[in-house]
Amino acid sequence: MRVLVTGAAGFIGSHLVERLLARGDEVRGVDCLTSGYPPATKLANLATVRHHPRFELVTVDLASTPTAPLLDGVEVVFHLAGQPGVRTSWGSGFGDYVTHNVLVTQRVLEAAAATDPAPRVVMASSSSVYGEGHRWPTPEDAPARPVSPYGVTKLAAEHLCRVYADLRRVPTVVLRYFTVYGPRQRPDMALHRMFDALATGREFPVYGSGGQVRDFTYVDDVVAATMAAGTRPVPPGYVLNVAGGSARSLTDLIGLVEEVTGRPVRVRDGGAPPGDVSRTGGCIDRARELLGWTPRVGLRDGVRAQAEWHLRAD
């Protein structure tokens, strides 16, 4: 199978590229190497596959580059490119979120609609679209009420996928990821920052009370669900939760990191930023039924794997 992976040099994208190549696919990866974290780090994510004979990396900005040629001969588009992060989506940086999460998604979908036959587009979304006040675990049909500009842009991208599925016959699938972690995790994410603090002896800033709960999902499980969404018979326009079933508070996570590493995590109060929900947790009945998928990696084993990678990398 010939596939396109946008955001190929990112945390999840690089793992996906590796697994697709291992499956035997031809992979075209696209990444604009934005400055959210160092481009050298992103390229290092692809170190094991950069010279693979079935992999091509195209470093262009999808917001300004013609997208149709990138889809030439492609059967599935795994659209993982985007501007991540809740806290940095407030204020003057919001334009970047609109560009990379909404405009780029529309351009990818428009190119898919102009291709005959249209490739399937599997888009990565986020549990941030749900917001607060839902029953837990949260099903896909719960009202979407994002409480951050980031969540608003991801919800807008989801709506674009539905519109192009309904009116332009693009077979889209939206996956709502829940707090993905593991080796090569983005530097701005809590677990990565926690290991950084351990490695450098600095304090780890705790934003909020520490009681906020996240449904942690190991990256290998996320990749397995994403690959399944590219081939399984999922109705066009569907949204599916991809959640690990490992809901823990930040305080619990700190304790687990201390157990796994045998080292204390020094913490400090980082304040309570706007846009952080108090609890996330996804119902995965739909993914289990349509993708034949369930998470396999428990939180302790996943944290241990990330700790080994992180401390080895340092």
Q: What are the tens digits of pLDDT across the range 55-83?
A: 999 999 999 999 999 999 999 999 999 99
Task: With residue 76 as reference, give the H or E element that holds it.
Answer: strand 76-79
Confidence category of residue 314, pLDDT binned at 50, 70, 90: low
How far is 128 from 215, CA to CA, in rounded Å?
Answer: 12
pLDDT at res. 310: 86
Higher-pLDDT residue of 136 and 48 is 48
| Whether the predicted pLDDT of 141 surpasses 70 | yes
Q: pTM above the 0.75 mark?
A: yes
| Whether the predicted pLDDT of 251 surpasses 80 | yes
Higher-pLDDT residue of 39 and 10 is 10
pLDDT at res. 276: 78
Token digits of residue 257: 């990191």
How far is 191 from 204, CA to CA, in rounded Å?
Answer: 10
| Whether the predicted pLDDT of 311 surpasses 80 | no
| Whether the predicted pLDDT of 256 surpasses 70 | yes
How far is 18 from 184, CA to CA, in rounded Å?
Answer: 13
pLDDT at res. 313: 65
Q: Rounded to 5, what percent of the chain is helix, strand, coil?
A: 40, 20, 40
How far is 244 from 8, CA to CA, in rounded Å?
Answer: 22
266 part of a folded domain: no
25 part of a folded domain: yes
264 part of a folded domain: no
191 part of a folded domain: no
Q: What is the mean pLDDT of residues 181-189?
A: 95
| Whether the predicted pLDDT of 273 surpasses 70 | yes
209 part of a folded domain: no
Give 144-184 as a DSSP string: PB-SSHHHHHHHHHHHHHHHHHHHS---EEEEEE--EESTT
How far is 296 from 282, CA to CA, in rounded Å?
Answer: 15
Burial 217-238 (b: 16+ CB within 10 A, else e): bbbbbbbbbbbbbbeeebebbb
How far is 189 from 179, CA to CA, in rounded Å?
Answer: 9
Beta strand pairing call for 213-218 and 246-249: antiparallel
| Whether the predicted pLDDT of 272 surpasses 80 | no
What's the N-to-C CA distance of the chain in angstroms?
Answer: 37
273 part of a folded domain: no
| Whether the predicted pLDDT of 271 surpasses 90 | no
Count structural domains, the chain: 1
Domain that holds residue 30: 2-178+217-243+281-295
The closest alpha carbon to 82, from 57, 65, 106, 49, belongs to: 106
306 part of a folded domain: no
* Average pLDDT over the chain, rounded to an integer: 94
Cβ distance 214 to 247 under 8 Å?
A: yes
Q: Which residues participate in catalysis according to the annotation? A: 150
71 part of a folded domain: yes
How deeply is 284 buried, as exposed, middle or buried, from its count of CB atoms within 10 A (0-12, 13-18, 19+)? Answer: buried
Cβ distance 97 to 275 under 8 Å?
A: no
The closest alpha carbon to 127, from 154, 100, 164, belongs to: 154
| Whether the predicted pLDDT of 305 surpasses 70 | yes
Percent of the chain with pLDDT over 70: 99
Structure confidence by residue, pLDDT tens digits, 12-62: 999 999 999 999 999 999 999 987 778 899 999 999 999 999 999 999 999
Residue 48 maps to which CATH number?
3.40.50.720
